[in-house]
Amino acid sequence: MVDRGNCLTCGLPLDICTCKIIEREARRIKVYMTTRKFGKPVTIIEGIDEKSVKSITSNLKRKLACGGSHKEGHIELQGNHVDRAKQILISLGFDRDLIEAN
């Protein structure tokens, strides 16, 4: 997922990008589904670093072709995307072992 040597998360050249370090130090990420009004499913992702949450949210929305929003490191996507969201997070450089998906 790397384009011409620039980080997909922060856009900086990879040799000065600190996203991987930040992510490694980050707490566990939780991905789960819940329901909103009228039983509408939403996928919640918790534990994303605030610095990268905006670009990660737009990445997820584009790849999943769904609506979504973020607030204080907490991403909410419309629909049930737990498995695919986990795969996308891994493709963005998150450690598989730190992602808890139910």
Residues near Zn ion (CB under 5 A) are 7, 9-10, 17, 19
**Alpha-carbon distance 92 to 79, whole Å?**
21
CB 45 within 8 A of CB 16: no
Comparing every residue's Cβ against Zn ion, the nearest one is 7
Q: How far is the CB of 58 from Zn ion (least distance, A)?
A: 15
DSSP letter assigned to residue 12? S
Would you say 51 or 80 has its CB closer to Zn ion?
51
Would you say 56 or 82 has its CB closer to Zn ion?
56
Would you say 13 or 67 has its CB closer to Zn ion?
13
Residue indicated by tokens 């610095």: 51
Q: How far is the CB of 24 from Zn ion (least distance, A)?
A: 12
Answer positive or negative: Cα dihedral of 77, 82, 88, 93.
Answer: positive
CB 88 within 8 A of CB 19: no
Q: How far is the CB of 1 from Zn ion (least distance, A)?
A: 11
